Structure formats: C-alpha cells, structure tokens
Amino acid sequence: MGMVKPQRWHKWTRSEPDPSNPAHDGQPSFRTTALIIASALFMEQLDSTVLTTALPTMGRHFNLSPTHMSAALTSYLLALAVFIPASGYFADRFGARKIFRMAIALFTISSVFCGQAPSLPFLVAARFLQGIGGAMMVPVGRLVLLRTVSQEDMVPAMAWFTVPALIGPVVGPPVGGLIVTYLSWRWIFYINVPFGILSILLATRYIQDIREPATGAFDTMGFLLSGVSLSCLMFGLEMANRGTSISVKPLAFLLGTSLVAGIFYARHAFKFAGDPILDFRLMRIPTFGLSVIGGSLTRITGGALPFLLPMMMQLGFGLSAARSGFITFMTASGSILMKLASPPILRRYGFRNTLVWNGVLSTGFLAVCAAFRPSWPMLAIYGMLLLGGFFQSLQFTAYNTVAYADVSQARMSAATSFYATFQQLMLSLGICVASGTLALSVGLSGHTQPILPDFTAAFLVVTAISILASPVCALMSEDAGNTMSGHKPRARQP
C-alpha cells in the first residue's frame, strides 16, 4: 500500500474570515489579493526605474554631476540588500499584513521626504528609508499571497502578481522622461503617495493577518554578516554599472569584503542552532533549489533587457526617448497577455516541460533583439518584443510558483526572503553583465559610444547565459508542482 503524501499547506489556505479584522466580511478572491499586492510591487518597480531617467535633471538642481547623484540609487540598493533577508522573520513575528502595511507606509512617507529633499545627503538618507520599506514590502507581499491562496489558484494568482514586476521597469523610463520634461523631478516621488494610500486601505480591507509563530531568536550575527556581504556586493555591482570611470581599487575592496563576509556567514549559518537569516538548507528542496538556480540564470536577461533596449533604440536607431519607450513597452504588453494564457499552458504541459521548452522560446525571441536594425519593419520589431515579453513572463510566473510547491508553511517566510534576495541580486547582475559586455565591445572596436554591433554582442552574451536555465529545469521531477498547475501526466504504456 502506497503512503499518502502529507499535505504541506495549512488548513487556513481556505480560511474563515479573520475575526480580528471587522472590516473583513468574507474571503477575497485570489485576484483581489494578488492585485493589491501587485499594486505595491508596481509602485516599487516604477519608482526604481523612473529615478534613473531623472538623475541628470536632479543633478543640475543640486549643482552636482549625474555620477554623484548615483548615490541616491546606491543607498536604496544597500537597504534592499540588508533588510530583504530579515523580512520573513518580521512577518512571522508581527504578522504579515501588519508588516506589509507598515512597509507601504514607510515607502510612501519616505517618498514624500525624497520629494522634499533640499540636498543630496538628505535625499540619500530618505532613499535608504525608502529601501527599507521596499525590502519588506515585496517579499512579505509574496508571503501573504502564498499563505492566503490555495494551491489550485496559485498559478493565476502568481500571473497577476508577476506582471507589474515586468511592466514597472519598462514603463519607468518614459514616465520619468515625461515627468522631468513637463513637471518637477519631485513628482517622481510624489506619485507614490496615492498608490501607497490606496494599497494600505485595500490591504486593511481585504488581506487577512495570517502568521506562522516565530521560533527561536533573531539571527543577529547572521543579519550583520549577510548585510555586509550583500550590501558590498550590490554596491560593487552598482559601481561597475557606472562605466569605466570607476577606480578598480574601491571596486576590488567592495567585492573582496563581500566575499570574506559571505564566507564567514556560510560558516555561521551551518553552525547556528536556530533558523539562519538566509537558510541555505532550503536549497535541498528540489523544486525550490532548481527554481532559484534556473530563475537566477533567466533573470540575467530579465535585468539586462530594460537597460539595453531603450539605449539601443536611442543610440543605435536615433529614436527619441518617447518613441523608444513606446517600443520597449511592447514587452510589457506581452506580459499582460500572458496572465490569461499561463494557467492552461501549465495545466497542459506541467511545470518541468514548460520551464524547459518555454525557456528556449523566451530566450530565443529576446536573442532576436541582437539582430534588430533600422531597416527592419517596425511591425516585425513589435512582434518579436511582444512574443518575447509573453514567453518571458510565462517563465517567471512558472518559477515564482513552483519554487514554493514543496515548501512547508513553517519555512515559507524563510523561503520568500531567500528567493527575493537572489532575485534582486540577479537582476542587478544582469545589468552589470550587459553594461560590462557593452563597454568591452566599445573598447575593442575603438568607438567613443556604443553602436549597433556593440548592442548585438551584449544581447547575445546575456541570452547565452539565460539559455543555460533549460538544462537546469530538466532536472525537475515530471510531477513537480502538479497540485498547483492541475497537470495530469499521460499514463505510460506498459
């Protein structure tokens, strides 16, 4: 007699209304929950990418060069690196809904501080506070989704949740250009206020305050070591993205410090009696570990695309910022179309087959960007980007869902923190790989600025890395995540 597989999801995946929340008079649909969380994610993603467009204008306001203004980006990334690993513990300790609302409130209030900044140091401090809010907001939002949506509804819920993460980086640059052209740069931060207030009200109304009892003490030493390692790594990657004017010595010091602190953290984590702040034991869960590895490789292209495509359209094609932004938006349009198609695709083919073959398709369509030339019909470019965005969004939805298929609820908060940390790192690494390849190609060809063959090289390098995810995903079990997708493998012939 075969053994019955234990149910890993608590009974409150279909829970009764939360009595502590009198406003909550019924269980909201998974779409409602996903869209509330996605609106906060969209606000965070939009804010991060809009700011890059406004840095030259802000530099002129403060009488500083744009390179000095990059400190406003770096301080935000440092806060993400330090506080994302701690988000799961705080969600268990104080309640996911409470932390989610507090994170949105901190992000919104610090946005007002950023808009009121009289100097660069004030702006850097406000951006650091904003980064703390962002670090808690996104992984805790995903945790809320995982704990309040049933397994059979998880695929469409994750589809709704994933779309804003792909739209934000694409629409950010054109929105930023419009704001700095027709309004003050301060409105880049003020536009977060209505999003933030609405998200807090909806979270209070519809999201239940579900928590897992925190076990053990907070991993203070792990928090410090991981914070040093990750912040130095993120700072180093951000410096590398700024071009060849950065001195090698500070970059080497940051990366070296990151490596040393990372080694000390690894020793600490394996000896720590409780739950380490970044628990590498989660990688022993096949669906989670393979999703982290495969998703990390795929996100190299995901991070590079919003960086390379607008620049290629402006420098290589000679298009305006507004027109290049519209062309880039086609990838986001494909992402929106995906949200309706992902459940039947995953139900028909399962997670493993989808991740393997869709990974090839998505990478292939994005690799076609390397061949874009001004002689191409615009309709053909739109079509390639639309398909590339569709298949890439399907890939991220599958990764973000199957990663948690076999994670117990007791470890769900640790898993979301771990996954979000590597997600952020790999998106930054994608920009670093793309900018490094671009700079190397420009240097070898002797140009003063990138031209189309340089962008071709950069696109081919990042997509060559991402295609390696398909062999990784082939190692998944055939029935991985079938409870979530509803996939029923065909019976084998005797």
Domain 279-487 maps to which CATH number in 3.30.360.10, 1.20.1250.20, 1.10.1040.10, 3.40.50.10490? Answer: 1.20.1250.20
CA 97 to chain centre: 20
Amino acid residing at 229 = S
Q: In 10 A of CB 211, how many CB atoms?
A: 18
Query: Using one digit for the tens of pLDDT, what is the confidence trace for 443-486?
Result: 888 777 788 888 899 999 999 999 999 999 999 988 888 888 87
Helix (H), strand (E), coil (C) string for 153-170: HHHHHHHHHHHHHHHHHH
Between CA 353 and CA 489 the distance in angstroms is 11
Residue 291 has pLDDT above 90, yes or no: yes
Is residue 273's pLDDT more than 80?
A: no
Task: Give the separation between CA 36 and CA 160, rounded to whole angstroms.
Answer: 10
**Which residues contact residue 308 at a Cβ distance below 8 angstroms, ignoring those fewer than 6 apart?**
369, 434, 438, 455, 458, 459, 462
Distance CA 265, CA 274 (A): 14
Q: Lowest-confidence range among 4-18, 69-83, 155-169?
A: 4-18
Share the mean pLDDT of the chain.
80
Return the top range by mean pLDDT from 13-27, 237-251, 421-435. 421-435
Task: For residue 289, name the pLDDT band (cuts at 50, 70, 90).
Answer: very high
Residue 25 has pLDDT above 70, yes or no: no
**Higher pLDDT, residue 150 or 382:** 382
By mean pLDDT, which of 75-84, 175-184, 294-303 is the weakest? 175-184
Query: Binning pLDDT at 50, 70 and 90, where does residue 265 land?
Result: very high
Residue 298 structure tokens: 């795929």
pLDDT tens by residue, 116-130 = 888 888 988 999 999
If we measure between CA atoms, which residue out of 169, 43, 52, 164 comes closest to residue 104?
Answer: 43
Q: Quick one: 25-215 is in which CATH superfamily?
A: MFS general substrate transporter like domains (1.20.1250.20)
Which class for 47: exposed (0-12), middle (13-18), buried (19 or more C-beta within 10 A)?
buried
Residue 23: the pLDDT is 37
Q: At what angle are helices 321-353 and 154-182 packed, to 10 degrees?
A: 170
Tokens of 94: 């104080």
Asked whether the domain spanning 279-487 has the same topology as the one spanning 25-215, the reply is yes
Q: What is the mean pLDDT of residues 416-442?
A: 85
pLDDT of residue 5 exceeding 70, the answer is: no
Q: What is the pTM of this model?
A: 0.80
Q: Using an 8 Å Cβ cutoff, are 302 and 442 in contact? A: no
The pLDDT, as a whole number, for residue 169 is: 66
**Poorest-pLDDT segment among 171-175, 198-202, 225-229:** 171-175
Report helix angle 30-61 to 96-115, nearest 10.
Answer: 20
SS (H, E, C) 203-214: HHHHCCCCCCCC
At residue 29, φ and ψ (nearest 5 deg) are -70, 160
Q: What is the pLDDT of residue 264?
A: 93
Task: Quote the pLDDT of residue 363.
Answer: 92
Rounded CA Rg of the chain: 22
Task: Tell me the mean pLDDT in the region 350-355.
Answer: 91
Instruction: Specify the pLDDT at position 456.
Output: 92
Most confident option among 94-98, 190-194, 292-296 = 292-296
Check whether 13 has a pLDDT greater than 50.
no
Q: Report pLDDT for 179.
A: 78
Sequence letter at residue 308: L
pLDDT: which is higher, 302 or 127: 127
Q: Mean pLDDT throughout 29-38?
A: 76
Residue 337 or residue 418, greater confidence: 418
How much of the chain exceeds pLDDT 90, in percent? 17
Give the pLDDT confidence score for residue 21 in this predicted structure.
41
Mean pLDDT calculated for residue range 359-374: 90
Q: Which of 156-170, 234-248, 303-317 has the highest average model confidence (pLDDT)?
A: 303-317
pLDDT at 20 over 60: no
pLDDT score recorded for residue 14: 37
Residue 11, pLDDT > 50, answer no
Polymer length in residues for the chain: 494
Does the pLDDT value for residue 66 go beyond 70?
no
- pLDDT of residue 325 exceeding 70: no
Residue 288 has pLDDT above 90, yes or no: yes
Q: pLDDT band for position 147 (50/70/90)? A: confident
| Residue 220: exposure state from Cβ atoms within 10 A (0-12, 13-18, ≥19) | exposed
Q: Please tell me the distance from the alpha carbon of residue 84 to that of residue 63, in angstroms, as a whole number.
A: 33
Q: What's the longest Cα–Cα distance across the chain?
A: 77
Question: Tens of pLDDT along 221-233?
Answer: 989 999 899 888 8
- Extents of the domains making up the chain: 25-215, 220-273, 279-487
Phi, psi torsion values for 242, nearest 5 degrees: -85, 0
